[in-house]
C-alpha cells in the first residue's frame, strides 16, 4: 500500500474551473485518479472535463452527492484559506493545497482549526502527492515516477521532481511522494509523514528532501532517532547559499543557531540519516543499503 | 516588506506605544529646525534599511541646533554600507536606566505568535540569546484567543520590571500585539524598550516586517517600499517576478523553483565551481520572463559561464527555450551556455535550442560538471 492516497481516493477539485485547476484536473484524471467532483462557488450545476465531472457550489454538497473524501485546492491565494476551512467543515479528512502566497495570518487560523478537527492538510504551496500507478493529487508529473518501495518527502517542488526522476533513471520506484509545501506555516510536517511511511508495508526506504530555514529538519531528526526503523536518506538544499538574509532579531533568537544547512545535516547524520551531497547521489546511496 | 525605524515608530504612536518626541528630516535645515523645536539634546538617526548603523556613524548625539545642522549635513551626504542616507530621524535624547528587548514573531510549528522578551535588550540581544538563552523569556500566544493581560504580567515578572511599570508594560505588549495583527506583520520588535532615568518606558528603536503576501490589504505601504538597499539587478528581477540574489562566483544560474535553484548552486560548488547568483524563475514562466532573467545574469560582469537547469512541471521547456532564443536575439554574447531541460515538453525545447545552435545535456550532474570545467578555463 501507499500512504494517504490510493485507489480508494475520491477527489474533489476546489477551483476546477480556473485555468490551473482545469489543466491539472485533466492531468490527474488522465493518470487514473478518481476525480468525483469539482467546486467553484457560483458555477454549481455545470459539467467540466468533457462533461465527465460535475461542479458544485460548495464542498459540502459535493461530499453529500459524490462521497468525496479528499480535496485538492487550486483556488487563488486570497480565497485559498477559506477553501481549506470549507473542506475541513465539510468533513474532508485529507486536504491538499497547491496554492502559493496565502497570507500568514490566515494560515495561523487554518493551523488551529485543522488541529482541532484532526484534519490532514498537505501544503499550502505544495506540489501535492503521487502514489505511482494509483493516483496523483496535485501537480507532480506522472511520467517522471514509477511504482516502488521508496517513500519521498520534500519541502520543495521541482527539486522533488529532480529526485524522483533520478530514482526512476536508476530503476528505483516510489511508494508515495509527498510535497509538504514550502510556506512558513504548513499543515503537516516531516515527522508526521515519516510515521506514515514507517507504518506502510510498501515502503522500505525513505528519502527526505529538506532545505535551509526553519527547524523542520532538526525536529524530524529527533523523530527519526526515536521512532524510525526504516533507513532514511536525506538531502538538504542550500549548502552553497550565503548566510540567510536576516529576519530581524526575533527570528535569530527563536531559531538560535539552527536553520542553516550545516546544522540540519549534523542533526540528521547523528540520527543515522545518510546525507547525499547532490540529488543524483540519492539513488547511489540507496543501492549501497 | 521591512519598515524603516521612523515608519515603525509611526505605527507605535498610532497604537499608543510611547516613543521619544521627534520628526523626520531630509535636509540639514529641517534637522536644525526640529532640534530648535525640541529644545534639548537630540539624536540624529540615519534611516537606512541595513544593520549596524550606529557603528557606521549613522547615529549621533548632538547638544545644540547648530551642531544638529552640521552633523545632519555630514550624515545626509554619506553612505552607510553603500546605501546613501536620504532621511534622518531627529529625536529628543533620552537618559537610559535599562534596555529591554520586546519582540513578536510567528511560530511556524504551532501557528501561534511568540512574544519574546529579555531584561538585557540592545544591540547585543542575539549574542545574549546564543550565550545565555535563560535570559530570554518566550510566551506562546494562541491567535484565536489573543494576548491575555496575565501573559504580559508574567513576562513583566520574569524579566523583573519594577512593579510601578507593570501596567504600562502590559499595555505596550497588548498594543504591540494589536499592531502585529492589524498590519499582518511577521516581525514586530522594540529594541531597546527603555526604562528612562525618570522611570518611564519608551520605544527607542523599532523594526517591523510586513507579510508580502498580505500587502494587498495594506495598499498604503506598497508605495512606501524603500528599494535603495537593493541592487539594480534585484529591482529589475522584482519587476518581472523573479527571485534573484547576487553572489560572488562566475557561473550564472537560471533555474525554476527555489529548492532546485539551491540544489543547482550546491552541485556547482560540490564540483569545484562558484555560482554567480541564485535565480528562480518560478512556476509557469513565460518566454519574456526567461529572457529578462537571462539579461539580468548577463549584465553581471563576473559571469563567464551560464548554466540553465529546468525541470518542467507547470513550466514548459519549449517556453523556456523560446525565452533563451529571444534573449540571444537581442543580446550578443560569446559566453558558453550549458542547458539542461527535463520534464514537460522537453523534446520540443531541445529542438528549439538545437535550431539556435545550443547544445543541451541530459542530467544535472553532467550540466554542472561541464559548466564548472568551462568556468575554470582561462578567458581567451
Record the cell numbers describing residue B156, joined without a space: 513583566
| pLDDT value at residue B122 | 87
Kindly state whether residues B246 and B217 are assigned to the same domain: no
Please check whether residue B53 lies inside any domain of the structure. Answer: yes
Q: What is the pLDDT of residue A120?
A: 97
Cell of B18: 510611547
More confident residue, B235 or A15: A15
| List of chain B residues with pLDDT < 70 | 229, 378-380
pTM: 0.91
The span from the CA of A132 to the CA of A134, in Å, is 5
Measured CA to CA, the distance from residue B327 to residue B186 in angstroms comes to 38
The beta-carbon contacts of B376-379 under 8 Å, at least 24 apart in sequence, are B376/B272, B376/B273, B379/B304
Q: A243 in contact with B at a CB cutoff of 8 Å?
A: no
Question: Cα distance from A219 to chain B (closest Cα, Å)?
Answer: 10
pLDDT value, residue B344? 83
CATH number at residue B107: 3.30.470.20
Q: What is the DSSP letter of B72?
A: H
Range of the domain at B40: 21-92
B2, part of any domain: no
Residues B372 and B241 in one domain: yes
CB B313 within 8 A of CB B285: no
Distance set, CA B43 to CA B19, B21, B35, B88, B263 (Å): 13, 11, 9, 10, 46
Q: Is A139 on the interface with B (CB under 8 A)?
A: yes
In whole angstroms, give the CA distance from residue A276 to residue A148.
20
Assess if residue B251 is contained within a domain. yes
| Longest pairwise C-alpha distance within chain A | 56
B68 and B88, same domain (yes or no): yes
Q: How far apart are CA B105 and CA A202, in angstroms?
A: 41
Would strands B305-312 and B251-255 be described as parallel, antiparallel, or unpaired? parallel
> Look-up: residue for cell 519594577?
B162
Whether the CA torsion A223, A225, A227, A232 is positive or negative: it is: positive
Q: Which CATH number is B52's domain given? A: 3.30.1490.20
Indicate whether B354 and B261 sit together in one domain.
yes
- Which cell is B129 given? 540569546
Q: Does B283 touch chain A (CB under 8 A)?
A: yes
Contact between residue A81 and residue A102 where contact means Cβ atoms under 8 Å apart: yes
HSE of B311, CA atoms in CB hemisphere, 13 A: 26
Q: Which of B222, B250, B285 is the last residue of a domain?
A: B222
**Which residues 28-67 of chain A have a CB within 8 Å of chain B?**
none
Cβ–Cβ of A249/B191 closer than 8 Å? yes
Reported as a single tens digit per residue, the pLDDT across B289-338 is 999 999 999 999 999 999 999 998 888 899 999 989 888 888 888 899 99
Does the CA dihedral A9-A10-A14-A20 come out positive or negative? positive
pLDDT given at position A251: 54
What average pLDDT does range A111-136 have in this prediction?
A: 95
CA–CA gap between residue B140 and residue A111 (Å, rounded): 15
Choose the mutation target among B3, B108, B279 for the interface with A, i.e. most A CBs under 10 Å: B108
Q: In a mutagenesis test of the B interface, which of A105, A109, A276 is the best target, namely the one with the most B β-carbons within 10 Å? A: A105
| B163/B185 same-domain check | yes
Residue finishing a domain among B56, B76, B92 = B92
Of residues B252, B347, B358, the one with CA closest to residue B302: B252
Q: Let me know whether B266 and B162 are in one domain.
A: no
- Alpha carbons B102 and B119: distance in angstroms, whole number: 9
**B270 part of contact set with chain A, CB < 8 Å:** yes
Nearest Cα of chain B lies from the Cα of A65 at a distance, in angstroms, of 31
Catalytic residues of B: 101, 189
Distance of CA B24 to the CA centre of its chain: 22
Q: Which pLDDT band holds residue A246 (cuts at 50, 70, 90)?
A: very low
A1 touches chain B (CB under 8 A): no
B269 → closest Cβ in A100, A235, A240: A240
Q: What strands, in cross-sheet order, belong to the sheet with A135-138?
A: A135-138, A128-131, A174-179, A147-154, A205-211, A232-237, A274-275
pLDDT band, residue A247 (cuts 50/70/90)? very low
Overall average pLDDT of the A162-186 stretch? 94
User: Chain B, 290-329: which have a CB under 8 Å from a chain A CB?
Assistant: 311-315
CB A28 within 8 A of CB A136: yes
The model's pLDDT over B181-217, given as tens digits with 9 standing for 90+, comes to 999 999 999 999 999 999 999 999 999 999 989 999 9
Kindly write down the DSSP assignment for every residue of B222-280, as one continuous string: HTT---TTS-HHHHHHHHTT-EEEE-SSSEEEEESSHHHHHHHHHHHHHTT--BSEEEE
Give yes or no for A184 touching B (CB within 8 A): yes
- CA-CA distance, B289 to B306, in Å (whole number)? 17
* ipTM of the complex in this document: 0.89
Tell whether B82 and B178 lie within a shared domain.
no
Furthest-apart CA pair in chain B: how many Å?
A: 79
Instruction: Give Cα A115 to chain centroid, integer Å.
Output: 17
Q: Are residues B273 and B357 in the same domain?
A: yes
Identify whether B9 is part of a domain.
Answer: no
Q: Where does a domain end: B36, B66, B92?
A: B92
Whether the CB of A263 is below 8 Å from some CB of chain B: the reply is: no
Q: Are residues B187 and B102 in the same domain?
A: yes
The cell numbers describing B188, all together, are 514586530
Q: Do the domain assignments include residue B4? A: no
Three cell numbers at B275? 555560482
Q: What is the rounded CA–CA span in Å between residue B140 and residue B239?
A: 38
Confidence of residue A258 (pLDDT cuts 50, 70, 90): low
pLDDT, residue A255, reads 56
**Cβ–Cβ contact B140 with A under 8 A:** no
Helix, strand, coil tally for chain B in percent (to 5) = 40, 25, 35
Does B356 lie in the same domain as B307?
Answer: yes
Which candidate, A272, A38, A7, places its Cα nearest to that of A135? A7
Which residues 64-123 of A have a C-beta within 8 angstroms of B? 77-78, 100-105, 107-112
Contacts of A256 in chain B (CB under 8 A): 129-130, 133
B231 CB near a chain A CB, below 8 Å?
no
Record the cell numbers describing residue B174, joined without a space: 497588548
Residue A253's pLDDT band, with cuts at 50, 70 and 90, is: low
* Chain A residues lying within 8 Å of B229, measured CB to CB: none
Question: In 3D, which of B121, B105, B104 has the Cα closest to residue B172?
Answer: B104
Answer yes or no: are the C-beta atoms of A122 and A147 closer than 8 Å.
Answer: no
Residue B13 lies in a domain: no
Rounded-to-integer distance, Cα B99 and Cα B93, Å: 15
CB nearest to A104's CB, from B186, B314, B363: B186
Residue B202, domain member (yes or no): yes
Of B278, B313, B343, the CB nearest to A127: B313
Q: Which of A167, A138, A169 is nearest to A152 (CA)?
A: A167
Look at residue B5 and tell me if it is in a domain: no
| pLDDT, mean over chain A | 92
How many domains does the structure of chain B reveal?
Answer: 3
Mean pLDDT of A13-38: 95
| The three three-digit cell numbers of residue A139, written as one number | 501537480
Calpha distance B242→A107 (Å, rounded) = 24
CATH number at residue B261: 3.40.50.261
B187 Cα to chain A: minimum distance (Å): 7
Say whether B273 sits in a helix, a strand or coil.
coil
- Alpha carbon of A248: minimum distance to chain B alpha carbons (Å): 7
Domain identity same for B107 and B74: no
With beta carbons under 8 A apart, name residues in chain A contacting B270. Answer: 239, 277-278
Portion of chain A with pLDDT greater than 90, in percent = 84
pLDDT in tens, B312-324: 888 889 999 998 9
**B138 and B119 in a common domain:** yes
Beta bridge partner(s), residue A147: A174
Q: Are B108 and A214 a contacting pair at CB < 8 A?
A: yes
Amino acid at each position: 500500500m501507499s500512504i494517504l492516497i490510493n485507489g480508494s481516493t475520491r477527489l474533489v477539485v476546489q477551483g476546477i474551473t480556473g485555468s490551473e485547476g482545469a489543466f491539472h484536473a485533466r492531468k490527474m484524471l488522465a493518470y487514473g485518479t478518481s476525480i468525483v467532483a469539482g467546486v467553484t462557488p457560483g458555477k454549481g450545476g455545470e459539467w467540466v472535463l468533457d462533461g465527465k465531472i460535475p461542479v458544485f457550489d460548495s464542498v459540502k454538497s459535493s461530499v453529500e452527492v459524490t462521497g468525496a473524501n479528499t480535496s485538492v485546492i487550486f483556488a487563488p491565494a486570497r480565497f485559498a484559506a477559506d477553501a481549506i476551512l470549507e473542506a475541513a467543515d465539510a468533513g474532508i479528512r485529507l486536504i491538499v493545497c497547491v496554492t502559493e502566497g496565502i497570507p500568514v495570518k490566515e494560515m495561523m487560523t487554518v493551523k488551529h482549526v485543522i488541529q482541532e478537527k484532526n484534519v490532514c492538510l498537505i501544503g499550502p504551496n505544495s506540489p501535492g502527492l503521487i502514489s505511482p500507478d494509483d493516483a496523483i493529487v496535485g501537480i507532480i508529473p506522472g511520467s517522471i515516477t514509477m511504482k516502488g518501495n521508496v517513500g519521498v518527502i520534500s519541502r520543495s517542488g521541482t527539486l522533488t521532481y529532480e529526485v524522483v526522476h533520478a530514482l526512476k533513471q536508476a530503476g528505483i520506484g516510489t511508494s508515495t511522494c509527498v510535497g509538504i509545501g514550502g510556506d512558513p506555516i504548513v499543515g503537516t510536517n516531516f515527522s508526521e509523514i515519516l510515521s506514515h511511511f514507517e507504518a506502510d508495508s510498501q515502503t522500505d526506504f525513505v528519502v527526505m528532501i529538506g532545505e535551509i530555514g526553519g527547524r523542520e529538519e532538526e525536529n524530524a531528526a529527533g523523530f527519526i532517532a526515536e521512532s524510525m526503523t526504516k533507513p532514511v536518506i536525506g538531502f538538504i538544499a542550500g549548502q552553497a547559499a550565503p548566510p540567510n538574509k536576516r529576519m530581524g532579531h526575533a527570528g535569530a533568537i527563536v531559531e538560535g543557531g539552527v536553520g542553516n544547512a550545516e546544522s540540519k545535516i549534523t542533526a540528521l547524520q547523528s540520527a543515522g540519516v545518510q546525507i547525499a551531497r547532490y540529488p543524483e547521489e540519492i539513488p547511489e546511496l540507496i543501492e549501497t543499503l | 516588506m521591512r519598515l524603516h525605524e521612523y515608519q515603525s515608530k509611526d505605527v507605535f504612536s498610532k497604537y499608543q506605544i510611547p516613543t521619544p518626541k521627534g520628526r523626520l528630516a531630509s535636509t540639514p535645515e529641517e534637522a536644525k529646525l526640529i532640534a530648535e523645536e525640541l529644545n534639548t539634546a537630540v539624536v540624529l538617526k540615519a534611516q537606512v534599511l541595513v544593520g549596524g548603523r550606529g557603528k557606521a556613524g549613522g547615529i549621533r548625539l548632538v547638544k545644540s541646533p547648530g551642531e544638529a545642522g552640521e552633523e545632519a549635513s555630514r550624515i545626509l551626504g554619506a553612505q552607510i554600507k553603500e546605501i546613501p542616507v536620504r532621511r534622518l530621524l531627529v529625536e529628543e535624547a533620552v537618559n537610559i536606566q535599562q534596555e529591554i528587548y520586546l519582540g513578536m514573531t510567528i511560530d511556524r510549528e504551532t501557528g501561534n505568535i511568540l512574544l519574546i522578551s529579555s531584561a538585557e535588550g540592545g544591540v547585543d540581544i542575539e549574542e545574549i540569546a546564543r550565550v545565555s538563552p535563560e535570559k530570554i523569556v518566550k510566551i506562546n500566544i494562541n491567535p484565536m484567543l489573543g494576548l491575555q493581560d496575565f501573559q504580559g504580567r508574567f513576562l513583566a515578572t520574569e524579566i523583573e520590571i519594577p512593579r510601578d511599570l507593570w501596567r504600562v508594560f502590559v499595555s505596550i505588549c497588548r498594543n504591540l500585539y494589536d499592531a502585529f495583527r492589524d498590519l499582518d506583520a511577521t516581525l514586530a520588535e522594540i529594541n531597546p524598550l527603555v526604562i528612562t532615568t525618570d522611570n518611564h518606558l519608551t520605544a527607542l528603536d523599532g523594526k517591523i516586517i510586513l507579510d508580502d503576501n498580505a500587502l494587498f490589504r495594506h495598499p498604503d505601504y506598497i508605495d512606501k517600499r524603500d528599494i535603495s538597499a537593493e541592487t539594480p539587478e534585484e529591482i529589475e528581477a522584482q519587476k518581472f517576478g523573479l527571485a534573484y540574489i547576487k553572489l560572488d562566483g562566475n557561473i550564472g544560474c537560471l533555474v525554476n523553483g527555489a529548492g532546485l535553484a539551491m540544489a543547482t548552486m550546491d552541485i556547482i560548488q560540490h564540483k569545484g565551481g562558484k555560482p554567480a547568483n541564485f535565480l528562480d524563475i518560478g512556476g509557469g514562466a513565460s518566454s519574456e520572463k526567461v529572457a529578462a532573467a537571462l539579461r539580468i545574469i548577463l549584465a553581471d560582469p563576473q559571469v563567464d559561464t551560464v548554466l540553465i537547469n529546468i525541470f518542467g512541471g507547470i513550466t514548459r521547456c519549449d517556453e523556456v527555450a523560446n525565452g533563451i532564443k529571444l534573449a540571444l536575439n537581442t543580446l550578443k554574447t560569446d559566453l558558453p551556455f550549458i542547458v539542461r531541460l527535463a520534464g514537460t515538453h522537453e523534446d520540443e525545447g531541445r529542438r528549439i535550442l538545437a535550431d539556435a545552435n545550443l547544445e543541451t545535456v541530459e542530467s544535472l550532474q553532467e550540466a554542472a560538471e561541464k559548466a564548472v570545467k568551462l568556468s575554470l578555463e582561462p578567458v581567451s
